[in-house]
Amino acid sequence: MIALDLIRNNKELVKENIKKKFQDSKLPLVDEVFELDAKLRAVKQEGNELRGSRNSLSSEIGGLMKEKRIEEANAKRAEVQKINAKIAESEAEEARLENEIKSRMMVIPNIIDSTVPIGKDDSENVEIEKFGDPVVPSFEVPYHADILASINGLDKDSAGRTSGNGFYYLMGDAARIETALINYARDFMIEKGFIYCIPPFMIRSDVVTGVMSFAEMEAMMYKIEGEDLYLIGTSEHSMIGKFKGQIVREDELPIKMTSYSPCFRKEVGAHGIEERGIYRVHQFEKQEMIVICRPEDSMNWYDQMWKYTVEIFRNLEIPVRQLECCSGDLADLKVKSCDIEAWSPRQKKYFEVGSCSTLGDAQARRLGIRIKTPTGNIFAHTLNNTVLASPRALIAFLENHVREDGSITIPEVLRPYMGGKEVICPIK
Say if residue 132 is in the same domain as residue 190.
yes
Q: What is the pLDDT of residue 274?
A: 60
146, part of any domain? yes
216 versus 91: which is more confidently predicted?
Answer: 91
**Which residues, including other chains, have CB under 8 Å from residue 426's CB and lie 6 or more apart?**
150, 151, 405, 406, 407
Residue 277 banded pLDDT, cuts 50, 70, 90: confident
Burial of 317 (0-12, 13-18, 19+ CB in 10 A): middle
Q: What is the mean pLDDT of residues 131-147?
A: 95
Name the β-bridge partners of 167: none
* CATH code at position 59: 1.10.287.40
Say if residue 56 is in the same domain as residue 186.
no
Residue 273 has pLDDT above 70, yes or no: no
Q: What is the pLDDT of residue 218?
A: 77
- How many structural domains is the chain composed of? 2
Say if residue 261 is in the same domain as residue 363.
yes
Say if residue 98 is in the same domain as residue 127.
no
Residues 259-276 as b/e (b if ≥16 CB within 10 A, e otherwise) read bbbebbbebeeeeebbee
Mean pLDDT computed over every residue of the chain? 93
Residue 185 has pLDDT above 70, yes or no: yes
* CATH code at position 253: 3.30.930.10
Q: What is the pLDDT of residue 213?
A: 78
Residue 270 banded pLDDT, cuts 50, 70, 90: very low
Name the β-bridge partners of 125: none
300, part of any domain? yes
Residue 269 banded pLDDT, cuts 50, 70, 90: low
Q: What is the pLDDT of residue 272?
A: 55
Q: What is the mean pLDDT of residues 383-406?
A: 96
pTM for the whole thing?
0.89
Identity of residue 61: I
What does the pLDDT look like over 2-18, one tens digit per residue?
Answer: 999 999 999 999 999 99
Alpha-helical regions (H) of 106-204: 144-150, 156-162, 172-191
